[in-house]
Each structure stands twice: as C-alpha cells, then as structure tokens.
Amino acid sequence: MKNKKQIDGKLETTEPSSLSQLWGETGLEKYKTFNIDEYTTQINGLNKSDLDSHAHGLGLIPVENRQLLVKRLLDAFRQHIGQFRRPKSSTKGVKLPNKKVMDILAEGR
C-alpha cells in the first residue's frame, strides 16, 4: 500500500513558458531534481554554512533563522518547478454560441 498513489485520470501535459524551455532547458540544472521530497531531504542534510552558500548561489539572502531560510528555499523551489510544469491550455472544448445568441449580442453594435 505504501507504493500506491491516487490518480485522477487526467492526462498531464505541459507547454514551454519561456524561450529557454523551447530551446531545451529542462530546469534540472538549478536544483538537480523536481521532487520536493528529495530537495527537502537534501537541504535538511546541509549544515548552516552550506545552507547559506546554497541560498546565496540561488540568489537568496541568507538569514540567521534556519527554519525561515529553509522555508524561503522551499518557496523558491516550488516557484521554479511551477515555471516548468505549466499546464497546456486547451481550446478543444470551446464552443461558439448559437446564431440566436450571436444576434442578441450583435444588437448593441
């Protein structure tokens, strides 16, 4: 039961949201993973000095409070993966209104 995951049956497709993604950037260069559990384990294993260096390398200002710094790092990580997992917009199910509705809407022109 531990290996089972609940799914909703939705096909997850993503689309690029920047030019660098169109040119093949995967987003793994910055954090080396897209799994938040792996990243959390990674940063929890760092000492304070390494954590400060990691934050500085990502462009964050290190703070003395370790919990606050870990929270900021996780927020930055979630924001980063959100840029690479933007869902594809679908225009497949869009239907135009019928002629009667279009005539009513056209009356104000």
| Residue ranges covered by each domain of the chain | 19-89
From 70-74, 89-93, 96-100, 104-108, the region with the lowest mean pLDDT: 89-93
Write the CA distances from 1 to 5, 23, 38, 93, 97, integer angstroms. Answer: 9, 40, 21, 37, 48
> Residue 97 — very low, low, confident or very high, per pLDDT cuts 50/70/90?
confident
Residue 11 has pLDDT above 70, yes or no: no
Alpha-carbon gap, residue 13 to 101, rounded angstroms: 34
Confidence check: pLDDT of 8 > 70:
no
Residue 5 near residue 70 (C-beta atoms within 8 A): no
Both tokens of 69, joined, read 């710094």
CA gap 19, 10 in Å, rounded: 27
Of all residues in the chain, the percent with pLDDT exceeding 90 is 37
Q: What is the residue type of 14?
A: T
Coil, strand, or helix at residue 20?
Answer: helix
